[in-house]
Amino acid sequence: MVAVRNLIPVLGDQLTPTLTSLAAGDPKQDVVLMAELHDEATYVRHHKKKIAFLFSAMRHFAEELRAAGWTVDYVTLDAAENGGGFTEQLRQAVKTHRPQRIVVTEPGEWRVGQMMAGWEEQLSLPVDILPDTRFLCTPDEFAAWARGRKQLRMEYFYREMRRKTGLLMEGDTPEGGRWNYDTENRKPAALDLFMPKPKTCKPDAITKEVLALVEARFGNHFGDLEPFWFAVTRADAQAAFTAFVDHALPFFGDYQDAMLTGEPFLYHAVISQYLNCGLLDPLTVCRAVEAAYHSGKVPLNAAEGFIRQIIGWREYVRGIYWLKMPGYVSLNALDHHRPLPDFYWTAETDMACVKAAVTQTKQQAYAHHIQRLMVTGNFALLAGIDPHALHEWYLSVYADAYEWVELPNTLGMSQFADGGLLASKPYAASGAYINRMSNYCGSCRYDVKQRTGAKACPFNALYWDFIARHRDRLAKNPRMAQMLRSYDNFDAAERERIADSAAGFLASLD
């Protein structure tokens, strides 16, 4: 028997053959450890479809590694030797394989990093934790960029990433003369538009086995397990991305903020779950989008908007996460403590926009960024929902959700719980925004044009009540000055009606 040199644990969001720990390894001398762990499936009650996606993708990746010559110790959820958690499973693998050292790529989440930091002492073995080079900006590089800045605005970080990668650059200047085409990416969609569907994949034998396992072990978790259509192999994830570039990307820029009843995907790529678990490489997909622009297949606003989400926003929120953890998770600058309403789990609400977003989330383990920010997130902000409760909901229900990307998006961008570290203003809006960007309001029992009263859209009174409740804090924000003036122009009777309508609706939640 060949002595095992390195034991290489590979996590469920590290399904990349060029992972630094694998690149440092030797298939002839090293063993890869992968495990489906109960602790990871239940530290929040993850959507059934999310658990199935990751377990199936892990099993397929193990086969990919074996085909490349690796010895993979793969522990299924129902295996007798399953230890339930990272450290216990690693302890068992050390006893079995007796490696000389452990080599692992740094994790995406703080809690896992804390586990890894204790492995050397607990296991009495050297542990090498290597950087995750799948990201463009290391935590140390982000900290250096942030040092001394009064405001950590994504736009300026994004420009640095454009310069670093050379994406959509003409020398030192941005393609087209502008860094950002976001103002061209806010068109409402109409139902008569052609809506391409994301490429779907039929479950193979491995996935069918996982689906049965998840239904048996996690059947009481949130979400619909089937129909299951996610890609679970690198080849199928790449095919899904290629289909997006060919059919949807040309219109992605124009309509990325739009929302339509019965159209959960519109022109979105629906690949974030593949990027975040390692089936797709961020820089590779951005270069493919850049190439599609240069070949004349897609307009600049679409290419720039997509690339900004990947090398700008995605890298930026990861930087914020590692810069501010562990304290970031407990921030609550607006002092919001209302429990999360049951309809976030049941979709049983008369608000058509919230009902649509939650129903879609239950069915698909997916909602696009405006549904998350301006519907479920906006409502939680206006209603004063505990931001940590909302954070745990988002982390639970979306297939692409990992704490490093979800937490800053929720506490910072959506809930302003970090006091403005990430967002320049609270992303609060009345029903008028949702009406402008969607067709939800046409089928809603509430009237989006009414501010107060039993038939009025709850977002309206809640919006102005939010302004009133946080007036002192918002007065310090120049981007909120116009809305404060508008509230001040209401007469006393209207302000009282707003307060009464908001209080009545919030009481109904309780």
Q: Output the pLDDT for position 194.
A: 66
Q: Please give the DSSP secondary-structure letter assigned to residue 32.
A: E
Q: How many CA atoms lie within 13 A of 482 on its CB side?
A: 2
The phi and psi torsions of 187 (rounded to 5 degrees) equal -85, 135
Q: Which fold, 343-509? A: DNA Cyclobutane Dipyrimidine Photolyase, subunit A; domain 3 (1.10.579)
Q: Output the pLDDT for position 255.
A: 87
Q: Of 217, 415, 353, nearest to 406 (Cα)?
A: 415
How many residues are recorded in the chain?
A: 510
Q: Of 279, 278, 253, 283, nearest to 268 (Cα)?
A: 253
Domain 6-130 has CATH 3.40.50.620: yes
For every residue of 136-161, DSSP letters joined together read SS-HHHHHHHHTT-S---HHHHHHHH
Q: Output the pLDDT for position 2.
A: 59
Residues of the chain with CATH 1.25.40.80: 139-196+248-324
- 3-state SS, residue 503: helix
Q: Output the pLDDT for position 256.
A: 85
Q: How far apart are CA 193 and CA 493, in angstroms?
A: 44
Q: Of 162, 180, 405, nearest to 272 (Cα)?
A: 405
User: What is the chain's pLDDT, residue by residue, as a tens digit (510 residues)?
Assistant: 457 999 999 999 999 999 999 999 999 999 999 999 999 999 999 999 999 999 999 999 999 999 999 999 999 999 999 999 999 999 999 999 999 999 999 999 999 999 999 999 999 999 999 999 999 999 999 999 999 998 899 999 999 999 999 999 999 999 999 999 888 767 787 766 667 889 999 999 999 999 999 999 999 999 999 999 999 999 999 999 999 999 999 988 888 889 999 889 999 999 999 999 999 999 999 999 999 999 999 999 999 999 999 999 999 999 999 999 999 999 999 999 999 999 999 999 999 999 999 999 999 999 999 999 999 999 999 999 999 999 999 999 999 999 999 999 999 999 999 999 999 999 999 999 999 999 999 999 999 999 999 999 999 999 999 999 999 999 999 999 999 999 999 999 999 999 999 999 999 988
Domain 139-196+248-324 class in CATH: mainly alpha
Q: Output the pLDDT for position 193.
A: 65
Residues of the chain with CATH 1.10.579.10: 343-509
- 3-state SS, residue 278: coil
